[in-house]
A = this chain, B = another copy of it.
Amino acid sequence: MKLFNKVAIIGVGLIGGSLGLGIKKRRLAGEVIGISRHQRTIDSAIKRAAIDRGSLDIKEINAADLVILAAPVNSIIRTGLRLPRLIRPGSLVTDTGSSKDIVVSRLEKVLSNFVGAHPLAGSEKQGVMNADADLFCGSLCVLTPTAKTSKTALTKIRRLWRALGARVVCLSPARHDRLIAYVSHLPHIIACSLIKSVPRNSLYFASSGLRDTTRIAASPAAVWKDILLTNPENVLRALDEFAACLSRIKSAVKKGDARRLEQILEQVKSKREILNHK
């Protein structure tokens, strides 16, 4: 089912590469063009058949009827602001950034056909060599339309993500950032703090518990620096909430209050079980 003639993906890493593979596998576009700052990345993306052709020159996007910004958040904004002079009239633009309020508010000022998107998929791995045509199958993709968003553009972007296998949910950019701060940005900071606090000489004794709780701390630093710094208020609020919860458990341990501690751990266990039935 062809949805677009030419799709240009700016940033052919794990997410951009998986988009290319997924679009090509399902024949959702006539051609997929990859734009990167590094020839090596383009070569890898072509080798993996994630793109049909690639270029270091962003002007190549002029041929595309859909442009996907799949880079760290600050690059999405920087590149997005240059697009009005580069795309042809009527082209759609979307992105894959993990913070939405700042991206959407900046880009919809200059682009009439912009739809913010955040696929809730990925891994701590990076690069097109880890890309997967089915990365988005069964995952959630949040679209963040506003009053300014074109209905036609929204429909087309929704169709793209559904064709890639994702369930699509629409949220306002601000609500997205509030919710995702808790389920993604907060866990990231916690996992990083946790691995930072473990003395090196005890890492030898780590088993699956520490491994799983800190897996996401191996994610690319440049990507996460941008995410956390573009959603600071929500992140700081989530951190305060976390600190309050932690201090309740800590206080039960300090006091040796077995009844209170078991009660908290029981509540936590049944809340965690919701994630198994999602």
Chain A residues packing against B (C-beta within 8 Å): 120-123, 139-140, 142, 169, 178-180, 182-184, 186-222, 224-225, 228-229, 232, 235-236, 238-239, 241-242, 244-246, 248-250, 253-254, 256, 258, 261-262, 264-269, 271-276, 278
**Chain B: which residue is nearest A270 at the CB level?**
B218
Per the bound structure, the CA–CA distance linking A229 and B256 in Å amounts to 6
Total copies of the chain:
2
Residue pair A197, B192 in contact (C-beta under 8 Å) = no
CB-CB < 8 A to A246: which residues of B?
Answer: 189-190, 193, 197, 239
A250 touching B239, Cβ below 8 Å: yes
A238 and B188 within 8 A (CB): no
- Report Cα–Cα, A192/B267, bound state, in Å: 9
Given A192-B249, A207-B139: A200 in contact with B271 (beta carbons within 8 A): yes
Instruction: Give bound CA distance, A118 to B276, whole Å.
Output: 28
Besides A140-B205, A182-B199, A189-B249, 8 other CB < 8 A contacts?
A179-B205, A190-B213, A196-B248, A204-B278, A218-B276, A225-B261, A225-B265, A228-B261
Q: A212 near B216 (CB under 8 angstroms)?
A: yes
The contact sample of 25 A-B pairs, CB cut-off 8 A, is A122-B207, A179-B202, A179-B205, A183-B203, A184-B207, A187-B213, A187-B214, A189-B250, A193-B245, A195-B271, A196-B245, A196-B267, A196-B271, A212-B216, A213-B214, A214-B275, A217-B269, A218-B272, A219-B269, A221-B268, A222-B262, A228-B261, A229-B258, A232-B256, A236-B253
